[in-house]
Amino acid sequence: MESTTLVAPDISCEHCQRAIEGAVGNLAGVSAVQVDIPTKAVHIDYDPQKVTLAKIEEVLDDTGYTVAK
């Protein structure tokens, strides 16, 4: 299991939080997703054998929350 924190500058409210937690949380291999609205951070625990970080970022982007590089 690995953990990472991504920053998505477009996070602004609880709707954003629910959208991200729903989309990323449904990915196979993701065990936990926590969105911190004030810092615009997305904390993710995932199994790299089942899902790649690139796939997680792609799902975030498709949901409307592009990850800051």
Paired tokens of 32: 């936990």
Q: What is the pLDDT of residue 69?
A: 81
Contact by Cβ (8 Å): 30, 42: no
Q: Is the pLDDT of residue 44 over 90?
A: yes
- Give the model's confidence band at 8: pLDDT under 50 very low, under 70 low, under 90 confident, else very high: very high
Q: What is the CATH code of the structural domain delimited by 2-63?
A: 3.30.70.100
Distance of CA 15 to the CA centre of its chain: 14
Whole-Å CA distances, 17 to 43, 48, 57: 11, 23, 15
Q: What is the pLDDT of residue 43?
A: 97
Amino acid in position 6? L
Q: What is the pLDDT of residue 21?
A: 97
Within 13 A of 28's CA, how many CA atoms are on the CB side? Answer: 2
Domain map of the chain by residue range?
Answer: 2-63
